[in-house]
């Protein structure tokens, strides 16, 4: 590696390529994607056998220092080759030197990672989140037409419906659901189903369930819908003096003076006393009259007529 490999790359591409010491390259702070150590090992073996075949991409961030944009696996494979052989040639790497902005480098890293190899659903969700922020900023600054979802789908070679699923989980799923997704214990489709529920109900399902199949989630959602549709009711006397049910209003009760409340309570007790006397609930009648006495005493204390 050295002048010959540099000449080989220059002949293949018109872009500027430099041989850069690995010690002058910093790994990209935005690269949260998991590193496949098996791929690093395999690439290291290939480099030791056939040489380094593909230039990485960097951008200059200060005098003589560069940030990695694309090629972290290749760079780590070179470092591993040096660790095995202690050959100094593996500490120099051919690199395209780009003049990208922070946002352009961030976007390129995400797209390069997502397109070149498989990633977990959680990592794809993170990628969609970050591209969404980058494209929203770009649309505002450059007035670019088109929907952000379509722009992400095109960049990542995804269907718009797939992007929508990741966006839904990102914006609506609870932290507990996202953690299950990160651990690969739930599919992104199941996470999206749960995201239809309030976050406390999502957490309830995660805490109480041992598996997260779509059918189990659908059953839980249907149960929650049934519970929410049951209206709360109370018993009361109608004008004819018979018991009827009425729905309890969700409206807060108006503030009232305690004296008015006691008067209403006493009136209700008198009505109830008549009904109980008619059907001869003797024990209940005795208890009711004791309550009336307490109401009389409270009325006297309050000066209620």
Query: What does the mean pLDDT of the chain come to?
Result: 80
Where do the structural domains in the chain lie, given as residue ranges?
Answer: 12-101, 105-227, 252-302
> Which range is least confidently modeled, 78-92, 108-122, 291-305?
291-305
Q: Regarding predicted confidence, which is higher, 173 or 244?
A: 173
Residues, the chain, total? 305
Other beta carbons within 10 angstroms of residue 231's beta carbon come to 10
Domain 12-101's class? alpha beta
| Contact of 161 with 144, CB cutoff 8 Å | no
Per-residue pLDDT of 244-285, as tens digits, reads 666 655 566 566 677 777 777 777 777 777 776 665 667 777
71 and 33 Cβ atoms separated by less than 8 Å: no
Task: Taking each helix axis as running N to C, give the angle between helix 214-229 and helix 199-208, from 0 to 180 degrees, rounded to the nearest 10.
Answer: 130
pLDDT given at position 227: 67
CATH code for the domain defined by 105-227: 1.10.10.2830
| pLDDT tens sequence across 176-223 | 999 999 989 999 999 999 999 999 999 999 998 888 888 889 888 888
- Cα dist. 194→65, 178, 204, 224, 285 in Å? 46, 11, 11, 12, 52
CA neighbor of 193 nearest in space, from 223, 173, 171: 173
Report DSSP letters for 135-164, one per residue: HHHHHHHH---S-HHHHHHHHHT--HHHHH
Residue 138 phi/psi, 5-degree rounding, is -65, -40
Q: Report the Cα–Cα distance between both ends of the chain, in Å, rounded.
A: 105
For the stretch 41-58, pLDDT in tens is 888 999 898 888 888 888
Rounded to whole angstroms, how far apart are CA atoms 287 and 298?
Answer: 17
More confident residue, 256 or 5: 256
Confidence of residue 2 (pLDDT cuts 50, 70, 90): very low
Range with the lowest mean pLDDT among 46-50, 77-81, 237-241, 281-285?
A: 237-241
Nearest in space to 113 (alpha carbons), one of 84, 50, 155: 155
What integer pLDDT is reported at residue 194 of this predicted model? 93
């Amino acid at each position: 590696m050295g002048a010959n490999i540099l000449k080989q790359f220059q002949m293949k591409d018109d872009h500027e390529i430099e041989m850069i010491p690995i010690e002058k390259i910093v790994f990209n702070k935005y690269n949260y994607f998991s590193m496949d150590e098996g791929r690093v090992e395999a690439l290291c073996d290939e480099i030791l056998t056939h040489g380094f075949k593909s230039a990485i991409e960097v951008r200059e961030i200060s005098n003589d220092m560069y940030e990695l944009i694309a090629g972290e696996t290749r760079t780590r494979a070179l470092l591993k080759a040096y660790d095995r052989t202690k050959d100094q040639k593996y500490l120099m790497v051919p690199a395209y030197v780009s003049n990208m902005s922070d946002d352009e480098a961030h976007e390129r890293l995400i797209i390069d990672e997502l397109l070149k190899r498989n990633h977990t659903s959680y990592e794809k969700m993170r990628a969609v989140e970050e591209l969404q922020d980058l494209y929203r900023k770009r649309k505002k600054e450059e007035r670019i037409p088109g929907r952000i979802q379509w722009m992400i789908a095109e960049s990542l070679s995804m269907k718009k419906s797939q992007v929508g699923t990741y966006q839904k989980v990102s914006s609506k799923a609870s932290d507990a659901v996202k953690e299950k997704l990160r651990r690969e214990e739930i599919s992104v489709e199941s996470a999206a189903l749960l995201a239809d529920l309030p976050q406390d109900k999502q957490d309830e399902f995660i805490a109480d369930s041992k598996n997260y199949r779509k059918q189990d989630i659908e059953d839980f959602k249907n149960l929650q819908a049934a519970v929410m549709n049951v209206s709360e009711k109370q018993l009361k006397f109608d004008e004819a003096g018979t018991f009827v049910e009425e729905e309890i209003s969700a409206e807060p009760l108006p503030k009232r003076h305690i004296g008015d409340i006691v008067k209403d309570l006493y009136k209700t007790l008198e009505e109830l006393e008549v009904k109980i006397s008619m059907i001869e609930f003797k024990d209940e009648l005795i208890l009711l009259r004791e309550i009336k006495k307490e109401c009389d005493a409270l009325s006297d204390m309050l000066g209620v007529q």
